[in-house]
Amino acid sequence: MTDRYQQFARSGVGRQIVRRLGLPNPVPLRRFSPDQTAIDGPALVGGNGRLGDTVASVLKALGAEVADGERYGALVFDATGIDEPAKLRELYDFFHPVMRRIGTCGRVVVLGTPPEGDSRAAIAQRALEGFTRSVGKELTRGATAQLVYVAPGFEAAAESTLRFLLSAKSAFVDAQVIRIGTLGGQSVEPEDWDKPLRGKVALVTGASRGIGASIAEVLARDGAHVVALDIPAQGAELSEVANRVRGSSLQLDITAQDAPAELVRYFTERHGGVDIVVHNAGITRDKRLANMSDGAWDSVIAVNLSSQLAVNDALLDADVLRANGRIVGVSSIAGIAGNNGQTNYATSKAGVIGMVDAYAPVLAARGATINAVAPGFIETKMTAAVPLFVREAGRRMSSLAQGGLPVDVAETIAWYASPASGAVNGNVVRVCGQSLLGA
């Protein structure tokens, strides 16, 4: 959908008005394309900790120049060496002189140790969150800031996450806190980082349009065979998507009583198992609670939550989810912040976060992972139907001052799905441009 305000703000006269009145200035975000460099400009690395070698090897693999520059494509600070609050000053010393030299759509990544226990070190590490989220709010021109907590012993396992966050694939992910290795996990380096999902079979529900279609495209781009699932009424659009990604289509209502058994049968017979399951199908039936019908409540909980638990249990009980398997949920910032007129939807989406919390240890014990994305305002048919004023507020009330695209959600899911993300488990990452809602 067209963002007319963004077009206006980029025009000659619009640019001046936006600057004079101090209005939001949404710059076009740099998104992944195979023929551009991963990082747009030199990288500057600081801090003294356990992750120096990993950072150096990732920057080298991404072809980044580590040097002084006029404008930086990335600033990476290894804060794992900060073991008492006074040493937080190192953040100031590193970032203060270069904050104005972060390039358009530049990347800031702070690395820390999960703040567990009662030590001074844990207190100092917890403090990194306030720093990173504030930097996210201060950055302009599409630049983003993230904090990654890496458990000791999982330094090498941080590679897939660093590649994702430093690249244009994380365009709409901003001010997030990601935990690696806190539940263990094994990361498997792909033979080809451009096709990390080669040989994998992925199920994407609700794949006939919107975010689901984009997830199917990105997982297929990364090498997976995608089974695109949607309700029979969406059959024509579903076949189009499946053909486009050279995958298969499966017409099924995931709330049907026999859907879990049908999926077990389908993946066992056709593929001998499944590697990646993306629970993307979701519906809204908005009404204030006082006016809501019981059907609106029941259908939203059934599609957005209960059916997903039933599918997970069936796939796990029948051992259809293969070793190093991935389950990904699609929550929403409405599930974090709550939303007027969406008690049913927000309940279901908060439940998706509960699903991640509950299943993460279970999947860790099987060498698999479960994580979720929580999209903010994404430009789709769903958000095109929102009244203009609410739509504009949704777009601008974020650090990036614009809506995201379905591909932004899809790229985040592809990072979770990578065999190299085996130690990324139990996370809920917002894809929201640091929306103020629920933050």
Ligand X SMILES: NC(=O)c1ccc[n+]([C@@H]2O[C@H](COP(=O)([O-])OP(=O)(O)OC[C@H]3O[C@@H](n4cnc5c(N)ncnc54)[C@H](O)[C@@H]3O)[C@@H](O)[C@H]2O)c1
Q: Which residues bind ligand X (CB under 6 A)?
A: 205-206, 208-212, 230-231, 234, 253-255, 280-283, 303, 330, 332, 375, 377-378, 380-383
> Is the Cβ of residue 124 or residue 439 nearer to ligand X in the bound state?
439
Q: Backbone dihedral region of 175: left (phi > 0), alpha (psi from -120 to 50 degrees) or beta?
A: left
Q: How far is CA 265 from the centre of its chain?
A: 30
Catalytic residue among 266, 345, 359, 416: 345
72 given a catalytic annotation = no
> Is the Cβ of residue 66 or residue 382 nearer to ligand X in the bound state?
382
DSSP reduced 3-state for 228: strand
Computed from CA positions of residues 183, 185, 189, 192, in that sequence, does the dihedral angle turn out positive or negative? negative
The answer to whether 267 touches 320, Cβ cutoff 8 Å, is yes
Residue 238: CB minimum distance to ligand X, A: 8
Residue 307: CB minimum distance to ligand X, A: 7
The answer to whether 312 touches 267, Cβ cutoff 8 Å, is no
Residue 403: CB minimum distance to ligand X, A: 8
> How many Å apart are CA 235 and CA 223, to the nearest integer?
24
DSSP reduced 3-state for 45: strand
Give the position of tokens 């640091």: 434
> How many Å apart are CA 203 and CA 175, to the nearest integer?
29
> Is the Cβ of residue 55 or residue 432 nearer to ligand X in the bound state?
432
- H or E element: which one contains 413? helix 406-417
Residue 290: CB minimum distance to ligand X, A: 23
> Is the Cβ of residue 148 or residue 228 nearer to ligand X in the bound state?
228
Residue 251: CB minimum distance to ligand X, A: 9
Concatenating the DSSP letter of every residue in 19-73 gives: HHHT----PPPP---TTS-SSSS-EEEEE-STTHHHHHHHHHHTT--BS--SSEE
Residue 320: CB minimum distance to ligand X, A: 18
Q: How far is CA 162 from CA 42, 75, 139, in A?
A: 16, 12, 19
Q: Find, among 276, 298, 98, the residue nearest to 200 by Cα.
A: 276
- H or E element: which one contains 171? none
> Is the Cβ of residue 284 or residue 399 nearer to ligand X in the bound state?
284
> How many Å apart are CA 231 and CA 249, to the nearest integer?
11
> Is the Cβ of residue 175 or residue 281 nearer to ligand X in the bound state?
281
DSSP reduced 3-state for 327: strand
Q: Which residues are catalytic?
A: 345
